[in-house]
């Protein structure tokens, strides 16, 4: 089993480097503008007033925190980062099991003395380790960006940390739903389109919720369950919503185990 | 002892039939042939035994262990070579073989290099740069490097040139002499005929004949050819005659299979005026065609 884990993790190395670069770029390229924004609070607030309310809502910019505050600006930065986190996690979820069948290497792997469960555990552990390293990297990058660009303004570090830690659930949501969809379907032809679809789908669902108002549309999307604006404002994870995500994660994992251990692997 | 034993093994893909009530047993130390045309269910049977697909009903045991419960334990002593081989493209041959060896508890390094040398395999190349035949060689090495007790081959020779085929069969025979049981599916009869002790013929998802190669061929079937003038097929409407063909260019020629008391047919032949009589053992190919009628 360790054999498989080692191989799988090795396969992730390049992907992890690319994602690390992506996260670093997003966070720093956004935060670098913060000093300009904070320099003229009044002007920023005025500019924002000129935008239609719906547009601001759709981008999560109409919450209690002003873009001119450090956490307000970071919440906007992190909402975008979340979109990429979702794509990465969904991508791993969709690909790790389906790749063996798409490239017909499942015959090789499964004729070896490993059980399906062991394969599932080894592959998931490798992917989760990858996601966890990405999470650490995001944390460090965000913290560095905050410290470099804060321009002397103090911020609520515990709220900041709470938001970052919520990423772990957020990743799990997209990873496990990716996994379960990949074992429900007979074949995943293009991992990228599936992962973009799931990530953007959830993102747009939350944007629509913001425009329409109310919580109904947000029930299913982790972009709402772990909305950066709210976590930074209240300093707390919105547990009643987060629990929906956690339930979906658990159901997805269990369903994946049941389906994958009984899955027929077809030859060419 | 039976190395493989299937009981009423059945697999449906949704409504499509894979195999139905396949019962067969493979004894320890034998080379067992599994013949049938494409789509008859050879691969379905093998993939079920390997735990790649799951039976709809029935059961199967390998080394006396249930394929559903003890899959990993069974597979630690099984070497499998599928008909189409696919490996991780980005890996080098040596890495793939080491990855394979990592699945087994014993040290396989020596055997791995022996086999690679024998198959003239370049270990440094990337899988994606290999030709089809070379990939197949990788398949052979990775399937045998742990000296398995059971070797499962699913149409193994496609893509190998005759020289390599010979080498491959030599290796398989060598493993068999060392005690390995071989389960070998093919639609090429000559291969099976040359290598196997016993065969099962599968058609439309079911076993239609399971026999010794020798009995299958003997089975009292004779291929009889008569040449002469005035031969009338109607004189040969005897029980036991099948596949009668009658051709007439210059002289009559009758060909048929006969199964039964040989005296009966000899008596009938002696009534005829024949120029030439040929009584032969049918080839497996012909028997095979016969069963497939």
Output the domain CATH number for residue B261: 3.30.70.260
Please tell me which residue, A184 or A211, carries the higher pLDDT value. A184
Which chain B residues are closer than 8 Å to A266 by Cβ?
A: 53
State the CB neighbour count (10 A cutoff) for residue B178. 10
Select the residue of B50, B88, B89 nearest A111 (Cβ to Cβ).
B50
Question: pLDDT digit string (tens) for A36-50?
Answer: 887 777 777 777 777
Q: Are B173 and B111 found together in one domain?
A: yes
Nearest Cα of chain B lies from the Cα of A107 at a distance, in angstroms, of 7
Interval A47-76 mean pLDDT: 76
Check B72 against A114: CB less than 8 A apart: yes
Verify that B185 and B235 share a domain, yes or no.
no
- Cβ(B155)–Cβ(B83) under 8 Å? yes
Question: Closest Cα of chain A to B15: distance in Å?
Answer: 15
* Burial B188-209, CB ≥16 within 10 A → b, else e: ebebbbebbbbbbbbbebbbeb
DSSP run (H or E) holding B31: strand B31-35
CATH of the domain at B123: 3.40.50.300
Examine the domain organization and report whether B111 and B136 are in the same domain: yes
Token readout for A106 is 């499942």
Same domain, B275 and B161: no
Partner residue facing B84 (CB), from A118, A264, A267: A267
Q: Is A186 left (phi over 0), alpha (psi -120 to 50) or beta?
A: alpha
Q: Which of B191, B213, B235 is the last residue of a domain?
A: B213
Residue B110 tokens read as 């020596």
| B133: closest CA of chain A, how far (Å) | 17
pLDDT the model gives residue A39 = 79
How confident is the model at residue B156, as a pLDDT?
87
For B29, half-sphere exposure in the C-beta direction (CA atoms, 13 angstrom radius) is 4
Smallest CA–CA separation between B44 and chain A, in Å? 9
Which chain B residues are within 8 Å of A103, Cβ to Cβ? Answer: 86, 88-89
Cβ pairs A/B, distance under 8 A: 65
Take residue A262 and report the two structure tokens written for it: 């009984």
Q: For residue B119, what are the CA distances in angstroms to A201, B122, B191? A: 52, 9, 19
In terms of domains, do B225 and B196 share one? no
What are A187-207's pLDDT values in tens digits? 898 999 999 999 999 999 998
Tokens of residue B293, six digits? 């009628």
| Total domains in the fold of chain B | 2
Which of A8, A111, A123 is the best mutation test for B, with the most CBs of B within 10 A? A111
- What is the ipTM for the molecules in this complex? 0.85
Cβ within 8 Å, pair A111-B100? no
Do residues B184 and B239 share a domain? no
pLDDT at B175: 93
| Nearest-Cα residue of chain A relative to residue B77 | A113
Decide if A262 and B53 are in contact by the 8 Å CB cutoff: no
Q: Which of A142, A164, A157, A149 is nearest to A27 (CA)?
A: A142
Q: Closest Cα to residue B266, out of B234, B232, B222, B214?
A: B222
In the prediction, which pLDDT does A117 show? Answer: 95
> Stretch A140-159: mean pLDDT, rounded?
90
The answer to whether residue B82 neighbours chain A at the CB level (below 8 Å) is yes
A218 band by pLDDT with thresholds 50, 70 and 90: confident
B114/B237 same-domain check: no
β-strand B251-259 against B241-249: which pairing, if any? antiparallel
pLDDT average, residue stretch A64-90: 89
Q: What is the pLDDT of residue B1?
A: 82
Q: Which pLDDT tens digit goes with each residue over A163-181?
A: 999 999 999 999 999 999 9
CB contact under 8 A, B87 and A118: no
The verdict on B164 and B227 lying in the same domain is no
Burial level of A66, CB count in 10 A (0-12/13-18/19+)? Answer: middle
Which of A132-141, A206-215, A236-245 shows the lowest per-residue confidence on average (mean pLDDT)? A206-215
Q: Which of B 53-72 lie inside 8 A of A, CB atoms?
A: 53-54, 71-72
**Which residue segment(s) compose the domain that B15 sits in?**
2-213
Q: Are B189 and B166 in the same domain?
A: yes
Q: Are the C-beta atoms of B127 and B88 separated by less than 8 Å?
A: yes
Give the domain-ending residue among B213, B228, B261. Answer: B213
CA gap A138, A22 in Å, rounded: 10
How many Å from the N-terminal Cα to the C-terminal Cα in chain B? 34
| B137 in the same domain as B95 | yes
User: Which of residues B194, B213, B232 is at a domain's end?
Assistant: B213
> Residue A229: pLDDT above 70?
yes
For the record, the structure tokens of A9 come out as: 């993790």
B86 touches chain A (CB under 8 A): yes
Please state the three-class secondary structure of chain A as a single string. CHHHHHHHHHHHHHHHHHHHHHHHHHHHHHHCCHHHHHHCHHHHHHHHHHCCHHHHHHCCCCCCCCCCCHHHHHHHHHHHHHHHHHHHHHHHHHHHHHHHHHCCCHHHHHCCCCCHHHHHHHHHHHHHHHHHHHHHHHHHHHHHHHHHHCCCCCCCHHHHHHHHHHHHHHHHHHHHHHHHHHHHCCCCCCHHHHHHHHHHHHHHHHHHHHHHCCCHHHCCCHHHHCCHHHHHHHCCCCHHHHHHHHHHHHHHHHHHHHHHCCCCCCCC
In this model, does residue A112 exceed pLDDT 90? yes
B287–chain A nearest CA distance, Å: 30
Inspect the interface and report whether the beta carbons of A113 and B104 lie closer than 8 Å: yes
DSSP 3-state of B166: helix
Give every residue of chain B whose pLDDT is below 50, as ranges. none
CA distances from residue A156 to A48, A76, A160, B183 in whole angstroms, order as listed: 24, 16, 6, 69
Which residue reads 């045998």 in tokens?
A: B144
| Domain co-membership, B267 together with B156 | no
Q: Are A232 and A163 in contact (CB under 8 A)?
A: yes
Are A112 and B82 an interchain contact pair (Cβ–Cβ within 8 Å)?
no
- Give A127 to chain B, closest Cα distance, Å: 18
Q: Token pair of A71, please?
A: 């956490």
Beta bridge partners of B202: B207
Residues of A whose CB is below 8 A from B41: none
Would you give the DSSP letter of residue B140?
Answer: H
Residue count of chain A, please give it.
Answer: 268
Check whether residue B129 and residue B250 sit in a common domain: no
């Amino acid at each position: 089993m360790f054999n498989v884990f080692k191989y799988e993790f090795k396969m992730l190395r390049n992907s992890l480097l690319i994602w690390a670069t992506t996260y670093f770029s997003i966070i720093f390229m956004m935060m670098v503008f913060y000093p300009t924004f904070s320099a003229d609070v009044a002007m920023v607030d005025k500019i924002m007033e000129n935008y239609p309310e719906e547009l601001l809502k759709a981008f999560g910019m109409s919450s209690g925190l002003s873009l001119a505050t450090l956490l307000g600006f970071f919440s906007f930065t992190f909402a975008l980062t979340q979109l990429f986190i979702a794509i990465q996690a969904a991508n791993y979820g969709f690909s790790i099991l389906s790749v063996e069948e798409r490239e017909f290497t499942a015959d090789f792997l499964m004729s070896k003395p490993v059980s399906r469960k062991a394969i599932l555990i080894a592959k998931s552990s490798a992917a989760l380790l990858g996601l966890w390293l990405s999470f650490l990297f995001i944390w460090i990058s965000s913290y560095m960006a905050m410290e470099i660009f804060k321009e002397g303004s103090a911020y609520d570090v515990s709220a900041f940390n709470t938001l970052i830690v919520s990423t772990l659930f957020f990743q799990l949501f997209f990873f496990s739903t990716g996994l379960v969809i990949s074992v429900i379907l007979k074949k995943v032809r293009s991992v990228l389109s599936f992962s973009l679809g799931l990530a953007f789908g959830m993102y747009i669902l939350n944007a629509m919720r913001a425009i329409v108002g109310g919580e109904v549309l947000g029930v299913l999307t982790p972009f709402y369950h772990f909305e950066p604006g709210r976590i930074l404002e209240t300093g707390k994870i919105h547990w009643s919503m987060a629990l929906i995500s956690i339930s979906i994660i658990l159901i997805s994992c269990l369903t994946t185990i049941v389906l994958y251990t009984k899955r027929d692997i077809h030859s060419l | 002892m039976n190395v493989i034993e299937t009981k009423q093994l059945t697999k449906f893909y949704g409504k499509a039939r894979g195999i139905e009530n396949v019962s067969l047993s493979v004894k320890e130390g034998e080379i067992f042939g599994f013949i049938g045309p494409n789509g008859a269910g050879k691969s379905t049977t093998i993939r079920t035994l390997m735990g790649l697909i799951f039976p709809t009903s029935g059961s199967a045991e390998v080394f006396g262990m249930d394929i559903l419960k003890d899959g990993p334990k069974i597979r630690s002593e099984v070497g499998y070579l599928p008909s189409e081989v696919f490996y991780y493209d980005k890996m080098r041959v040596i890495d793939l073989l080491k990855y394979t060896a990592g699945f087994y508890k014993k040290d396989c390094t020596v055997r791995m290099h022996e086999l690679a040398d024998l198959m003239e395999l370049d270990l440094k190349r990337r899988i994606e740069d290999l030709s089809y035949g070379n990939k197949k060689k990788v398949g052979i090495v990775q399937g045998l490097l742990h000296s398995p007790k059971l070797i499962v081959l699913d149409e193994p020779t496609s893509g190998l040139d005759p020289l390599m085929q010979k080498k491959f069969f030599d290796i398989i025979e060598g493993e068999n002499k060392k005690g390995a049981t071989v389960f070998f599916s093919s639609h090429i009869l000559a291969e099976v005929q040359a290598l196997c002790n016993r065969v099962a013929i599968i058609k439309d998802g079911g076993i239609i004949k399971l026999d010794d190669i020798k009995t299958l061929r003997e089975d009292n079937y004779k291929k009889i050819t008569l040449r002469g003038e005035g031969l009338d097929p109607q004189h040969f409407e005897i029980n036991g005659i099948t596949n009668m063909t009658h051709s007439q260019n210059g002289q009559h020629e009758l060909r048929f299979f006969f199964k039964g008391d040989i005296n009966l047919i000899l008596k009938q032949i002696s009534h005829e005026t024949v120029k030439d009589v040929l009584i032969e053992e049918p080839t497996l190919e012909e028997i095979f065609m016969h069963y497939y009628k």
